[in-house]
Amino acid sequence: MARFEDQLAAVEAQGSDAQGNDISSNGGEGFTRRGFLIGTMAGSAMMAFGLSGAAAAASDGSANNGSASESLAAGRYEPTIWYAIAPDGTVTVHITKAEMGQHVATSLARLVAEELEADWSSIEVVYVDSDPKWGYMVTGGSWSVHHSYLPLSRAGAAGRIALIEAGAKLLDVDPADCRARHGQVISGDKSVSYGEIVSQAGLERTFSEEELKEISLKPASERRVLGTKGTALDVPAKVNGEAIYGIDVTVDKMLYARPVLPPTRFGSKPVSIDDSAAKQIDGYRQTIELDDPSGVCQGWLAVIADSYSSAMRATDALKVEWQRGDSYDISEADIQEQGHTLVNSPSRDNGSLFVDIGDVSSGLEGASEVIDSTYTTSSVLHFQLEPVNATVFEEDGHWHVHCGNQQQTLAVGMLSKALQVDKSNITLHQYYLGGGFGRRLYGDYTIPAALAAKALGRPVKMLFTRPDDTRFDCVRSPSVQRLRSGLDGNGKVVASEHAAAAGWPSAAMAPAFLIEPVEDGGKVDSFAISGADHWYDVGAQRVWAQQNHKAHEVFVPGYLRSVGPGWTTWAVEQHIDELALAAGKDPARFRLELLNAEGRNAGQAPHSVGGAERLRAVLERAMAKADWDSRDSLPDDVGMGVALTFGQERSMPTWVACIARVKINRGDGSVDVEHLTAVADAGTLAHPDGAMAQLEGSLLWGLSMALYEGTEVEKGKPKALNLGAYTPLRMNQVPKMDLEFVDSDAMPVGLGEPGTTVVAPAIANAIQHAVGVRLRDMPMRAEALKAAL
Amino acid sequence: MASFTLNGKPVSVEVSPQTPLLWVLRDNLGMTGTKFGCGIAQCGACTVHLNGSATRTCVLPVSAAEGGEVVTIEGLSDNDDHPLQQAWREHQVPQCGYCQSGQIMQAADFLSRTPDPSDEEVTEAMSGNLCRCMAYVRIHRAVKRAAEISQASEASTAGVGVFDPSRDQEVTHGQV
Ligand code: FES
Ligand code: FES
């Protein structure tokens, strides 16, 4: 399968955003395909990806003599300055990624600092706005560190080389006799700081794309930053109230707004609006209908007031009669019924094949036993703690949109359609995100704020209440999956077929991210099926990705932390256990046998070097840590289960093993998770403490979804709209955890998501071990277990 | 007109009396460290101290604070050096950070009443505060650590337990 990175590059190269809108006028060319310029502007050294001077001069026929400084100063080449060194030695790293809890700026700045040999205390970060020069802006998929590793490391190394050359001149020594450390160029007992070099000599150096690629990065043994302890840059502002989130933005003369949401996401219209009661509320101004040429806000109203509190109360007092969209009558059960139909007879009309290896049909026919199981997951909410919001105003024909967002390029394209203005007249200003988890990959929430600001000709801050946020959340689609696998007489898996049906986030929001199928048929949303292409050797293998169109009629299927692997891992990892049971084998050792790391499962350098071998290694380590062998002598109603994941994509595997120990209370069917063990191999850890925080949080997310979350869509919206009805994990439900990262200097991969997917199947397998009941529907509710006992 | 003391200073605001204190703090007084999460007193993001007690402000009419003393995260300490803030940095608690003002204000009230809490007491006191990033392991650890810091600084004036930000944090490989 194509690496998603390539897909993204292709989307950029076509000059379109993920909805297929033209972005070529943006001039954004990803930073991977250009040379590197180091020059001096206004006294500071600038390190930028861009056309090098000579190439730039040639490309526009100007008389530019080709110096890096002149190219940078000329500006017309849109050099993308990734970091700068000021005369006082401060290194400012520009961050294009959203800061939403993963300490991404710290990780990315560490990549630069490592190769630049910068002094960490001199590092500052700036979160940039949506200027098109940054290329396609998206933060998701656990990609940030992995995708940035080579470009930012090389950028740092290029800067170091230039500083050593210039520093050697100042010291009057041979560059070969110099080394760089802690922001200084050192030769014997002489040294000069980066700040001194920048202010006294300036920097002038260009690297062609080829030269950049040839720079060899430091061997792991020489690393002084990556893989070491250290704190996150965004933490201090998050313990004293100073961190500014989208919700905290204020603008002169702004009005407050709350959206009035129609009964369905699509096709509703207001028929009559009565605001007589709202008029009694202090500070209420008016209710406006939002006319949205982009089609995002269908039938929405906005209540405008002098304060948010007035806007909230006035909205509650408003009486609106609606003409409801047709999807009002579609329930979660209807969607799931459609899912069952799709997985029972998958076809090329609703998707296609994602994996097709060998002859599955005859493999299953010839098997001595076929295990055939169906698994489901129900709708899940993002419930990022900061409800979606945006503050928008227009100034001199330019639109400023202030909010936290994970996919600025997509949002700008949507805003351009809604406001009917060119994208070059729209800027998204980034803030800290009060949680992302994929919700803010879709900038739909910026549209009503922008339309209200346009209608009123004044700045508007629109904030969704929690129930508003939930109602039109891009929920994780409910899913249905059927797996059929055949065992031969020796308990060896000979063939496996997997069909998965769900709403497809990319089809709904970003069609350009759909990929070609392995053979004929429609395009496939890899985000909705990834994980089914696992690293076990199951003989012949066929995977069907099916789009459940019924889901799309009701809501916008969302990218929710881990996306597809959140359901595919649930099915695959239970199914493997069911096969082990049928074969009469220990489920962990059965997995070790299937992870033979042969053929396509051998892995590829550098991204997936080692392949299934590394999954074996984390499993073996987890078995030792959790004392797997004690599994045969546990007390009554106590069980241990295991599950594995390779994270988000085969081309960027994060290897994780999780073992859960549970105790079942037969009285009410509730499950106590007594212990979670997890071992992860994510290659080099750019920021180990941040990595551990992500592992902790993602595993608990997994536990929360396994037992405590989940809702149903009903009458156009999720049934659970706020806490009380929706019950994410609390501190008193946190089990004992024993977590570990494998020491590795392999290429860094992602960590924001992989931990979320393994916990639920590990618990399901543990429940089966404890009491012999297999729960195939997520969330696993106590009532369901009690009924089965 | 609503009048109360905010972080030690008297304030008066022209708002209708049923306006929740949260919005008066955030929108009228510019104290945005206190957050809005659920609006129904169930997540704790909006927690401040009212007359010394951790209080959810999203459902509390400003009239209930009339003449009272309100302390928000911005007023918890003079130099961001409350033992909880020290411990929060030391253990790198925040992820997205959105819940953390509320967590810290909740914990501050709890520790002022329970200076030497057991693990179970910490869990019980903090379970009303949702952290969607699920940073619970570190929140728990940091509340315990803050109790230690407070006790040490009470036990001695010789600088014992003073947080040194340059000190390495704890091992990140291995057991949690
Ligand atoms: S916003 Fe007040 S408790 Fe959630
Ligand atoms: S740190 Fe994000 S909600 Fe707690």
B71 and B87 fall within a common domain: no
- Gap between the Cα atoms of A355 and A372, Å rounded: 19
A689 interfaces chain B, CB cutoff of 8 Å = yes
Name which residue leads in pLDDT, A32 or A9: A9
CATH number for B22: 3.10.20.30
The beta-carbon contacts of A622-630 under 8 Å, at least 24 apart in sequence, are A622/A657, A622/A658, A622/A659, A622/A677, A622/A678, A622/A679, A623/A588, A623/A657, A623/A659, A625/A659, A625/A677, A625/A679, A625/A738, A625/A740, A626/A659, A626/A661, A626/A675, A626/A677, A626/A738, A628/A588, A628/A659
Rounded to the nearest angstrom, the minimum Cα separation between A655 and chain B is 16
Reported confidence tier of residue B173, pLDDT bands at 50, 70, 90: very low
Is residue A192 within 8 A of residue A178, CB to CB? The reply is no
The secondary structure of residue A644, as a DSSP letter, is E
Substitution target from A229, A258, A309 for chain B, most B beta carbons within 10 A: A309
Average pLDDT over residues A249-263: 98
A320 forms beta bridges with A273
Within a domain: B59 = yes
Assess whether B8 and B58 both reside in one domain: yes
What is the band of A39 on the pLDDT scale with cuts at 50, 70, 90?
A: confident
Q: Which CATH number characterizes residue B101's domain?
A: 1.10.150.120
| Residues contacting ligand 2 via CB (< 6 Å) | A 101, 385, 435; B 94-100, 131-133, 135
State pLDDT tens for residues A698-725: 999 999 999 999 999 999 999 999 999 9
At B159, is the pLDDT very low, low, confident or very high (cuts 50, 70, 90)? Answer: very low
The answer to whether residues B68 and B95 belong to one domain is no
- The answer to whether position B34 is within a domain reads yes
In one-letter notation, the amino acid at residue A382 is: H
DSSP B61: B
Q: For residue B163, is pLDDT > 50? A: no
Interatomic CA distance for residues A626 and B89, integer angstroms? 31
Range of the domain at B146: 83-157
> Residue A64 — pLDDT band, cuts 50, 70, 90?
very low
Closest residue of chain B to A388, computed from CA coordinates: B37
- Asked if the model's pLDDT at residue B162 lies above 80, the reply is no
Percent of chain A scoring above 70 in pLDDT: 92
Going along chain A from its start, the domains and CATH numbers come out as 32-238 (3.30.365.10), 246-326+388-463 (3.30.365.10), 333-379+475-788 (3.30.365.10)
Mean pLDDT of A773-783: 98
> Bridge partners of A428?
A401
Task: Give the number of other CB atoms < 10 A from CB of residue B165.
Answer: 10
CA dist B100 and B33 (Å) reads: 9
Are B87 and B147 in a shared domain?
Answer: yes
Assigned domain for B174 exists: no
Cβ-Cβ contacts under 8 Å for B40 (sequence gap 6 or more): A466, A722, A723, A724, B58, B59
Tell me the average pLDDT of chain B. Answer: 90
Residue found under tokens 């026919």: A365
In this structure, are B133 and B151 located in the same domain? yes
Confidence bin at A666 (pLDDT 50/70/90): very high
Interval A621-646: pLDDT, tens: 999 999 999 999 999 999 999 999 99
CA distances from B3 to A187, A686, B72 (A): 66, 50, 16
DSSP A620: H
**B39 closest CB neighbour out of A100, A384, A466:** A466
Angle subtended by helix axes A755-771 and A565-583, to nearest 10: 30
**CB proximity B144 to A under 8 Å:** no
Three-state DSSP at A638 gives strand
pLDDT of residue A18: 61
Residue B146 lies in a domain: yes
pLDDT tens-digit readout, A110-144: 999 999 999 999 999 999 999 998 889 999 988 89
Cβ B147 under 6 angstroms from ligand 1:
no
Domain end, chosen from B53, B75, B97, is at B75
At A25, the pLDDT band (50, 70, 90 cuts) reads very low
Q: Do A240 and B33 touch (CB under 8 A)?
A: yes
Nearest to B89 among A236, A436, A692 (CB): A236
Instruction: Look at residue A215 in the predicted model and tell me its pLDDT.
Output: 93
**B59 and B94 in a common domain:** no
| Amino acid A10: pLDDT | 60
Render pLDDT for A91-114 as a digit per residue (tens, 0 to 9). 999 999 999 999 999 999 999 999
Q: What is the ipTM of this complex?
A: 0.94
Q: Examine the domain organization and report whether B89 and B148 are in the same domain.
A: yes
Q: Which residues of A touch B39 (CB under 8 A)?
A: 312, 465-466, 722
Taking contacts as CB-CB distances below 8 angstroms, the residues of chain A near B16 are: 282-283
**pLDDT at residue A445, rounded to an integer:** 98
Is A737 within 8 Å of chain B by CB?
yes
Name residue A524's amino acid. Answer: V
For chain B, the first-to-last Cα distance in angstroms comes to 50
Average pLDDT of span A665-674:
98
Query: Which residue has the CA at smallest separation from atom 3 of ligand 1?
Result: B41
Q: Do B172 and A688 touch (CB under 8 A)?
A: yes
Contact A435 B98 (CB under 8 A): yes
The answer to whether A321 and A263 are in contact (CB under 8 A) is no
Same domain, B32 and B58: yes
* pLDDT confidence bin for A40, thresholds 50/70/90: confident
Residue B163 located in a structural domain? no
Asked, for residue B164, whether it belongs to a domain, the answer is no
Cβ distance B175 to A282 less than 8 Å, yes or no, reads: no
- Binary contact (A239, B45; C-beta < 8 A): no
Residues B31, B92: one domain?
no
* A752 token code pair: 């924001």
| pLDDT at res. A79 | 55
Phi, psi of A330 (to 5 degrees): -90, 125
Q: How many domains does chain B have?
A: 2
Model confidence at A200: pLDDT above 60: yes
**b or e along B123-137 (b: 16 or more beta carbons within 10 Å of the residue's beta carbon)?**
bebbebbbbbbbbbb
Cβ–ligand 1 distance for B46 under 6 Å, the answer: yes
Residue A19 confidence (pLDDT): 65
For residue A387, give the ligand nearest its CA: 1
Sign for the CA dihedral angle at A704, A751, A515, A599 comes to negative
Strand order across the beta sheet in which A655-665 lies: A638-645, A655-665, A670-681, A736-741
CA A386–ligand 2 middle distance (angstroms): 9
CA distance A529 to A515: 11
DSSP-assigned beta bridge partners for residue A524: A515
In whole angstroms, give the CA distance from residue A262 to residue A694: 37
Q: Mean of the per-residue pLDDT values for chain A?
A: 93
CB atoms within 10 A of CB A657: 29
Q: Are B58 and B92 found together in one domain?
A: no
pLDDT in tens, A65-90: 467 777 666 554 445 678 999 999 99
pLDDT tens string A416-457: 999 999 999 999 999 999 999 999 999 999 999 999 999 999
Quote the Cα angle for A632-A635-A640, to 5°. 55
pLDDT tens readout for residues A466-483: 999 999 999 999 999 999
B176 in any annotated domain:
no
Residues sharing a CB contact under 8 Å with residue A373, sequence separation 6 or more, in sequence order: A482, A483, A571, A574, A575, A578, A776
Q: Which ligand is nearest to the CA of A724?
A: 1
In this prediction, residue A4 carries a pLDDT of 54
Token pair listed for A739: 């977590």
Residue % of chain A over a pLDDT of 90: 86
Q: Confidence class of residue A16 from pLDDT cuts 50, 70 and 90?
A: low
Number of helices and strands in chain B (H, E): 5, 5
pLDDT of residue A55: 47
Question: Which comes out higher in pLDDT, residue A59 or B75?
Answer: B75
- Whether B59 and B124 share a structural domain: no
Classify residue B171: in a domain, yes or no.
no
pLDDT (0 to 100) of residue A696 = 98
- B154, HSE (Cβ side, Cα atoms, 13 Å): 10
Task: Say whether both B90 and B40 belong to one domain.
Answer: no
Q: How many CB atoms lie within 10 A of CB A581?
A: 17
Q: How confident is the model at residue A28 (pLDDT cuts 50, 70, 90)?
A: very low
Alpha-carbon separation of residue B150 from A236, B87, B137, B144, B153 (angstroms): 20, 10, 20, 10, 5
Percent of chain B with pLDDT over 70: 88
pLDDT tens, position by position, A307-356: 999 999 999 999 999 999 999 999 999 999 999 999 999 999 999 999 99
